[in-house]
Structure 1
């Protein structure tokens, strides 16, 4: 089978690395890819925003399946155009992609279908939004409604900070994504990421993860696309996973189908585990980045077969296996990120990092010039490690990080701190998440 992966980040490298291991695979192509993906797939300079060009490429190269990594092509309707041309594609339609394209749409869906989430209102006017903030008080959360590369959310600890975030959004910081905002209740608890595959009717749980959004140690500084993650998330016990499926995931899949927007692909629920149980923070319509890296490191099963089951609508006949060991990824970013990252610096020592037991190095913002790797983005590398405990996986990942010679880069030094603290309290034993298993919905 010939497979084309769309994207160029760490998520797509992890997907290509996993897909390349499938015995069903004949040829793997990635567009546009990056310096590291070139080790696992053929990278092609294809304009993925030109849907006609993507369709023509697939026909000319005999592509049997397209796997769309990032959210922007999904929101733009790439899957719709591929399927209209008779090409199988993995990912939601443009209509179903509203779950990520509009935070307001998702909150309204939750309200209509009784899905637990924080209280909220939608606004297109700064004065009305500020009046709502004044009535509700702080802390409170201000979100740009549209896609903002993970940077459109402000957790405001004061009314003044919330008002400043409102002014930023309506002042054009996020472009069209900030033309409307959602102001919502601040939820107390512990965050977790819960992933499932769905064919629009059946749902197959994947695994849980916990990511680290703020740029600095101790969860300080501005939010980013993600500075690291680990899987499984100890807070997501088997019982909590079952509640999330029953109270959040299944009503969402049912609701989208009932409203004529059946969702097929990866559904990524960002959850807050509160004293009352799981509540939805937001949905993403694709694998997370960097969560995908730790999920692929733990997945035993053939990813390509799982994707085909979702595309063909037979997930109720499929199951997945996972390694018991946890996985952890540390993102190495370019100095200046999440602002203006410093590009062009050479990265050395990657082979030494790869040689550390249990470590895989996924590339994100890199480009290759001959035998040299150069930084070419904000988040540049994802140093991923497995181990018998999160503590050991963390130690392996940072051992590999310290072997990389890249003066222009930095990373957080506390990825996985919650799980490490739990293991210290329990003598290295941490509760594990669900290992997979299908559930018909």
Structure 2
């Protein structure tokens, strides 16, 4: 048994060596066409990697900015579906009409928010913080500006927000040291000509007003946020908004942001309050990125498809020129499958060499693009092009290039396998 197996292996090695020698001989006999085909594959793989790196890099940069500047999960003081009325529960099959009933006025907020916050914090791999969000108007020197007023607990916000990294003056902890402090964006500060220590009047939606001292300034680069957001201590916001001992948001940050959808469903199921993940809130952007990626891969893949036509042309020409040689090989005992495999091997060789050289060129293009720095209008610091260096895109580029090369050589290889040696040799004679 071992002798028979060794004999088969030796025969396979001999056949493979002969096929490789013949394939290389065919390719080197038409050096110019082979070089053109190789160049097409190299450029196709290189540009595929460069464009893919830019597109995926910009996608990940966008998602990172989206994730960093917003909560992974936000628990609201509302329900995803309206609660059933008592009459509907009492008489589910009846037609009930209730008129002239005035709903009771109650202070909105998450009921028992401390217990619910503790329950959320008990879940693994996350941090949570309570927030009270309301509307207010800033008054200073006769100017007014509507803002979104957020009451926060600085100790909790450190773990769930990037606002600390955006501070250009003062700190978030200054709110704890000064209960009448307020933190504003650079846009508002410039609009009102304020500076640290300035006093500004804040009027809440319920009509309550209070003079607050500016203790911090932040800048995110988002003009709408920088001109429309203010932070105060949670207790101060509760007093201004008339919602003592209430919060209407619990914001959650996860260790893995892509677990947000599953964790949000868990929180909503246990608390009953509407829990929205950043994935759910940004479905339109994510769908847009998916469409963009499909367009990108379709366009870039077309380069490799065009390159495969060069391989098809090269191998087809070799088949036409080597028809007599193919007939002689068949008369010597080569099977049709052997002939077909030789020409498929030619496409495989072009694909391997072209993919390897293309990946080297692609890596160089990616590194060069990563060094490009742009200065966007209105932005002081330089911005580098976002590139992605994931190994999966190299594997995908090589796999698609190999598939294109082998597919392009299939028809010529099939035509070569169908050559009838008797007809060819009789015609030559």
In the superposition, the TM-score normalised over structure 2's length comes to: 0.23
Bigger Cα Rg: 2
- Structure with the bigger percentage of strand: 1
Choose between structure 1 and 2 for higher RCO, CA contacts under 8 A separated by at least 6 residues.
Answer: 2
- Structure with the bigger percentage of helix: 2
